[in-house]
Amino acid sequence: MPAQSDSQFWSDAQRHLIRYGGSFSPVIIERASGSYVYDSTGRAILDFTSGQMSAVLGHAHPEIAEVIAESARNLTHLFSGMLSRPVVELATRLAGIAPKGLERSLLLSTGAEANEAALRMAKLATGKYEVVSFAQSWHGMTGGAASATYSAGRKGYGPAAVGSFAIPAPYPYRPRFEHNGAYDWAAELDYAFDLLDRQSTGNLAAFIAEPILSSGGLIELPLGYMRALHAKCAARGMMLIVDEAQTGLGRTGTMFACERDGVVPDILTLSKTLGAGIPLAAVLTTLEIEARCHERGFLFYTTHVSDPMPAAVGLKVIDIVERDNLVRRATVVGARLYEGLKSLQSRFDCIGDVRGRGLMLGIEIVGDRETKSAAPELSGAITQRCLELGLHMNIVQLPGFGGVFRLAPPLTISETEIDSALTILQDAIAGSLRA
């Protein structure tokens, strides 16, 4: 698809924007509504990334728009030491829906900011400083969060925070440990922690984990893995921080993804989905951990901590998710999408794997199903052809592995829109293979 006709727009973009990773889609987006974004020619494009994996209620949800308008007229921002009703109400509401025991909240703006605060709390509460995460993780681009991010962005910026460690992400499609022909994630986890114990100075403060590693290739932690990870953390006196930026608020078919394993983390972070596209994040923890941090002088002033307008939006998001039974809907509609993707896999050998749960799914594109070889040119061509046909999807190119499409449409998406996306994807793959 050629770049759109507004040459001045593209000239200005090229001249004045700092490029912050990847390349820009060759479309000018003018507006968005529901499951679609609309370009400057008026063409509707199905948005299977929910913006930046955030717009769980779709774009321009009328009730969210009304909350924003009302807040803009009355109360948007305050001095960080002042409180408003939406902030206290959202903290109370989060305590009511979160895994049992997570009763205290800190309301912030972004996922990186929430993870930064969570890591500071874990270090302060434990008196230690070493942080562990997965080798394909993404937790943000700020200092501590970036030091715990290994899927990209580590080269060229100098040393990471002292005490940063990584262990292999469990990857059932490409298993590193096998027993009797089956992936043995427990042995892999044991080995990883054995190496970790040998490297640690005895100051293990926290493990930060995504239940589904999104930027790392849509890799879902196997059933039971998080419970085993939690036990290893507890045995070492370190905290488990679960980063539910993308999995929180129902996307995987439970309100929080960690609930599938019955795990209550020491600290839980939320962001993207909580604001449904508005910058809003939260750190949730226990009364005990909050009290210990407070006693030791926990400090995390930011310009937009406890802002009333985003808090009001977060309250409305929870209202809609619960009222419209969107957690259950993610399971039902997600199953439709999953089965459609499995059907495409049976037709196209380039789809090596279909994985994920609820409405957070991934398909790995390979050059050869037997060798699982990477096929970056093919996956890039499929991405481009999908956009030409009216479907926006995000591809993550894993170095040395395949390219993985991350499919995360709004929880409000219709069955008709699911079927339309599957048809477009089918045509895009078929056309790219013929080219």
Q: What torsion, rounded to 10 degrees, do the Cα atoms 122, 124, 126, 132 define?
A: 40
Q: Is 152 exposed, middle or buried (0-12, 13-18, 19+ CB in 10 A)?
A: middle
Map tokens 């022909």 to a residue: 181
Q: What torsion, rounded to 10 degrees, do the Cα atoms 233, 235, 238, 242 define?
A: 30
Give the single-character DSSP code of 34: B
Q: What is the CA radius of gyration of the chain?
A: 22
d(CA 160, CA 147): 5
Asked whether the beta carbons of 170 and 225 are under 8 A apart, the reply is yes
Catalytic residue IDs: 138, 210, 243, 246, 272, 406
d(CA 395, CA 225): 26
105 contact partners, CB below 8 Å, separation of at least 6: 90, 91, 94, 95, 282, 283, 284
The length of the chain in residues reads 435
**Token pair belonging to 26:** 């060759």
Amino acid at the residue 208:
I
Q: Smallest Cα–Cα separation from 333: which of 357, 358, 356?
A: 358
d(CA 54, CA 40): 23
Give the three-class secondary structure for 400: coil
Q: Which phi and psi angles does 270 have, rounded to 5°?
A: -125, 155
CA-based torsion, 117, 118, 123, 129: positive or negative: negative
Pairing of strands 44-47, 36-39: antiparallel
Transcribe 170-216 into DSSP letters.
P-TTS-S-EETTEE-HHHHHHHHHHHHHHH--S-EEEEEE-SEETTT
Give CB contacts under 8 A, 24+ apart, made by 62-66: 63/316, 63/319, 63/320, 64/276, 64/277, 64/278, 64/313, 64/316, 64/317, 64/320
